[in-house]
Amino acid sequence: MTIDALSPTLMNSGPRIFRTLTAMSMTVLVKKHGLNAVTALLFGLAFWRLGFSPELPAVLAFILGGVLLAVIDWKVQRLPTRIVYYTLAGVGAGLIFASLVERDWVPLATAVAGAALFANAFFLIWFVGRNFAGVMLLGFGDVRLAAVLGLLLGWYGLPYVLYGAIVGNLLAMVVVIATCIHKRKLHMRYSFGPPLIAGTLAVVLLHA
């Protein structure tokens, strides 16, 4: 087939291809800017509630990683290990900075204890569900995420780890019920990351 023969086909399909590419680009653009807008809004909320407190960098690191993790988990029910660890490192570095500024290492110690408690509690649920109950209530990504949540909540005291867990699980229960009602059947796999992250951030901001 010659170029001349192909030309009418290309001319006719050109506008359709352009519209498709434009629509795809606009979808990606809207999603990207929507994610940026949510992150910026939460940053502003954190500044408003915390001011220039020493732990602000840790909270901002949590928001940055948490928003991304929440969106990914909601879409594909997966918490990428690398992003979880990057978020953990960012929150940890922020809390070390806060300890240096305040010259007080007790909150950092309770933060580490909170991370260990939250992660071990989730690990127990994951282990029992996988090996004995035959039901995967949590994925191992949720266990890793629990360390991040416990680290930030533990900075304010161990009771706040419990508060964050309660609020996060209540929000998760709402998500489960709403999903079951919407789809009119019981599902055994849910995205627990978004409500857990939202619950932790709510406790942190309300505490401030």
pLDDT tens figures, 46-95: 999 999 999 999 999 999 999 999 999 999 989 999 999 999 999 999 99
pLDDT at 181: 81
What average pLDDT score do residues 163-168 get?
96
Task: Give start and end residues of each alpha helix (H) in 155-183.
Answer: 158-183
For the chain, how many residues are written? 208
Q: Rg (Cα) of the chain, in Å, rounded?
A: 22
What average pLDDT score do residues 147-167 get?
97
Assess contact for 168 and 199: CB atoms under 8 A. yes
**pLDDT at residue 2 greater than cutoff 50:** no
201: Cβ contacts below 8 Å, ≥ 6 apart: 42, 62, 63, 66
**pLDDT at residue 26 greater than cutoff 70:** no
d(CA 19, CA 23): 6
pLDDT at 17: 40
Angle of helix 106-128 relative to helix 81-102, nearest 10 degrees, comes to 160
Mean pLDDT over the full length of the chain: 85
**pLDDT at residue 185 greater than cutoff 70:** no
With a pLDDT cut of 90, the percent of the chain lying above it is 65
pLDDT at 11: 45
- pLDDT (tens digit per residue) in 125-154: 999 988 887 777 788 999 999 999 999 999
**pLDDT at residue 9 greater than cutoff 50:** no
